């Protein structure tokens, strides 16, 4: 039996708690890793005056173990993902790719999780075979568990068979598959094929969906299925992506980053790209990365900060304006703190006392030129070395570099 974390009791005071994009000015209490309706006796008090507190973000699609693998060099858009996979076969022989894949898979899994945590993501849907490393007690993020999956309709050599996997997945659990990942006739026909197989239902979660037509989208909404949108990956590989508006309006769209092998650096960069395209507004993106994702992936206790929820939070400064824009549109260096299970995991140095009260030993790091404190359990040198922009720092070296970072800070 897992015992409650000793330092996971806290009261976050004077903050603006973000729910559905609106700000609720109230204290937020944490008891044994969960949001509580009442404060716990002896809880550590965190004064968050002038801050916004968001639920931890949910990355609805990532391949955790390939985030350090160099991407295929850009060329003409591929007609579908199968053509990209075929083209990648020769890429495996390149020295940098081979070297990345020789790293222990457990280390690569942790790296993909750390990448997510640094960007405010506290829960990830990993779309690949389960690995024992994912069960580590100190794994950086929570994971979608007890779900069904297949890889793709026309890639039978990897992952469970489509129909058998779908039938074996309970209706109350999500079942995921890459689908319609392309712009050609093959991709456009995949939704109908999946439907004929009897594998399109309310628990079907379709990854990408670039080739979906209007009638396909109607059918998805009709049965209550959903799509995970990975626009940066789609544009990089296929040259275009789906129009998200109709699926979003129906509450049937979540957001994923698809790993750095083909997609954005992290979920925050993915969000900035969507904002730049003008496809959706900050509040819509916040919903996709929190409440909508939790509903689609059947993640009870995530995507919100109501009593009973997991105490997973992202804390940023309140800069005024639309509260959702406080997180949607920033880079990871601007996050003040990322909290998982009520415990700070990475935060600015002025939160040092909170780490100490929570019993979390820290090490100083630089993250994209900004000073931070990182949970020591996540600071193995081999792990940190895999993450561009993250660097272990010696305390005596902070002063000079800090002046530069402070000058660059907005």
With a pLDDT cut of 90, the percent of the chain lying above it is 88
Q: Are residues 254 and 397 in the same domain?
A: no
Domain count, the chain: 2
With a pLDDT cut of 70, the percent of the chain lying above it is 94
Q: How far is it, in rounded angstroms, from Cα 238 to Cα 227?
A: 17
pLDDT band with cut points at 50, 70 and 90 for residue 410 = very low
In a domain, 4, yes or no: no
Q: What angle, rounded to 10 degrees, do the helices at 81-91 and 231-238 form?
A: 70
Beta bridge partners of 207: 178, 228
Q: Dump pLDDT digits (tens) for 244-299.
A: 999 999 999 999 999 999 999 999 999 999 999 998 999 999 999 999 999 999 99
How big is the CA angle at 122 (ends 5 and 336), to the nearest 5 degrees? 90
Q: How far is it, in rounded angstroms, from Cα 18 to Cα 25?
A: 9
Looking at residue 74, its pLDDT comes to: 72
Contacts of 403 (CB under 8 A, 6+ apart): none
Looking at residue 396, its pLDDT comes to: 47
Are the beta carbons of 319 and 326 closer than 8 angstroms?
Answer: yes
Write out the residue range of the structural domain in which residue 388 sits: 10-56+303-408
Q: How far is it, in rounded angstroms, from Cα 314 to Cα 297?
A: 20
Last residue of a domain, one of 296, 327, 357: 296
299 phi, psi to nearest 5 deg: -95, 90
254 phi, psi to nearest 5 deg: -120, 175
Q: How far is it, in rounded angstroms, from Cα 331 to Cα 301?
A: 26
Label the pairing between strands 10-13 and 57-62: unpaired
Q: Are residues 233 and 344 in the same domain?
A: no
In a domain, 373, yes or no: yes
Last residue of a domain, one of 296, 320, 337: 296
Looking at residue 20, its pLDDT comes to: 76
Structure tokens at 43: 């809880």
In a domain, 91, yes or no: yes
Q: Are residues 266 and 313 in the same domain?
A: no
Q: Are residues 67 and 46 in the same domain?
A: no
Q: Are residues 185 and 198 in the same domain?
A: yes
Q: Are residues 64 and 103 in the same domain?
A: yes
Q: How far is it, in rounded angstroms, from Cα 383 to Cα 191?
A: 39
Considering the chain, what is the average pLDDT of its residues?
93
The three-state DSSP-derived secondary structure of the chain is CCCCCCCCCEEEECCEEEECCEEEECCEEEECCEEECCCCCCCEEEECCCEEEEECEEEEEECHHHCCCCCCCCCCCCCEHHHHHHHHHHHCCCHHHHHHHHCCHHHHHHHHHHHHHHCCEEEEEECCCCCHHHHCCCCCCEECCCCEEEEECCCCCCCCCHHHHHHHCCCCCCEEEEECCECCHHHHCHHHHHHHCCCCCCCEEEEECCCCCHHHHHHHHHHCCEEEECHHHHHHHHCCCCCCHHHHHCCCEEECCCCCCCCCCCHHHHHHHHHHHCCCCHHHHHHHCCHHHHHHCCCCCCCCCCCCCECCEEEEECCCCCHHHHCCCCCHHHCCEEEECCEEEEECHHHHHHHHHHCCCEEEEEECCEEEEEEHHHCCHHHHHCCCCEEECCHHHHHHHHHHHHHHCC
pLDDT band with cut points at 50, 70 and 90 for residue 19 = confident
Q: What is the mean pLDDT of residues 311-325?
A: 96
CB atoms within 10 A of CB 72: 18
Q: Dump pLDDT digits (tens) for 178-229.
A: 999 999 999 999 999 999 999 999 999 999 999 999 999 999 999 999 999 9
The sheet that has 204-208: what strands, in order across it?
A: 148-152, 175-179, 204-208, 226-229, 253-255
Last residue of a domain, one of 269, 296, 323: 296
Q: Are residues 241 and 327 in the same domain?
A: no
Q: Are residues 335 and 404 in the same domain?
A: yes
Are the beta carbons of 165 and 142 closer than 8 angstroms?
Answer: no
Q: Are residues 166 and 263 in the same domain?
A: yes
Q: Dump pLDDT digits (tens) for 373-401.
A: 999 999 999 999 999 999 999 754 433 33
CATH of the domain at 76: 3.20.20.140
Are the beta carbons of 276 and 298 closer than 8 angstroms?
Answer: no
Q: Dump pLDDT digits (tens) for 132-166.
A: 999 999 999 999 999 999 999 999 889 999 999 99
Q: Are residues 188 and 100 in the same domain?
A: yes
Q: Are residues 336 and 403 in the same domain?
A: yes
Q: Are residues 134 and 234 in the same domain?
A: yes
Label the pairing between strands 343-347 and 253-255: unpaired
In a domain, 3, yes or no: no
């Amino acid at each position: 039996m897992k015992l409650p974390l000793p330092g996971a009791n806290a009261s976050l005071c004077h903050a603006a708690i973000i729910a559905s994009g609106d700000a609720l000015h109230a204290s937020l209490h944490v008891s044994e890793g969960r949001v509580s309706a009442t404060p716990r006796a002896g809880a550590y008090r965190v004064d968050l005056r002038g801050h916004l507190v968001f639920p931890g973000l949910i990355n609805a699609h990532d391949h955790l173990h390939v985030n350090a693998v160099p991407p295929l060099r850009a060329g003409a858009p591929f007609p579908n993902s199968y053509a990209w996979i075929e083209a990648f076969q020769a890429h495996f022989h390149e020295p940098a790719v081979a070297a990345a894949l020789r790293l222990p898979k457990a280390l690569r899994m942790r790296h993909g999780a750390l990448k997510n945590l640094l960007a405010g993501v506290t829960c990830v849907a990993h779309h690949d075979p389960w690995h024992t490393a994912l069960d580590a007690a100190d794994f950086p993020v929570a994971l979608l568990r007890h779900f069904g999956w297949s890889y793709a309709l026309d890639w039978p050599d990897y992952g469970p068979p489509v129909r058998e996997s779908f039938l074996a997945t309970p209706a109350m659990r999500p079942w995921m598959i890459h689908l319609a990942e392309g712009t050609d006739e093959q991709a456009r026909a995949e939704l109908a094929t999946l439907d004929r197989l009897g594998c399109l239902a309310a628990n079907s979660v379709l990854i990408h969906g670039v080739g979906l037509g209007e009638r396909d989208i109607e059918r998805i909404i009709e049965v209550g299925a959903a799509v995970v949108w990975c626009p940066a990956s789609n544009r990089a590989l296929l040259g275009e992506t789906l129009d998200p508006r109709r699926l979003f309006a129906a509450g049937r769209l979540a957001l994923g980053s698809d790993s750095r092998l083909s997609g954005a650096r992290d979920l925050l960069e993915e969000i900035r790209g969507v904002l730049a395209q003008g496809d959706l507004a900050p509040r819509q993106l916040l919903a996709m990365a929190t409440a909508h994702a939790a509903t689609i992936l059947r993640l009870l206790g995530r995507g919100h900060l109501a009593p009973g929820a997991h105490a997973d939070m992202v804390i940023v400064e309140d800069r005024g304006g639309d509260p959702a824009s406080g997180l949607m549109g920033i880079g990871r260096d601007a996050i003040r703190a990322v909290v998982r299970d009520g415990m700070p995991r990475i935060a600015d140095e002025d939160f040092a006392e909170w780490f100490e009260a929570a019993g979390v030993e820290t090490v100083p790091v630089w993250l994209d030129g900004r000073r931070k404190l990182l949970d020591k359990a996540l600071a193995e040198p081999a792990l940190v070395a895999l993450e561009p922009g993250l660097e272990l720092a010696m305390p005596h070296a902070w002063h000079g570099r800090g002046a530069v970072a402070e000058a660059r800070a907005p």
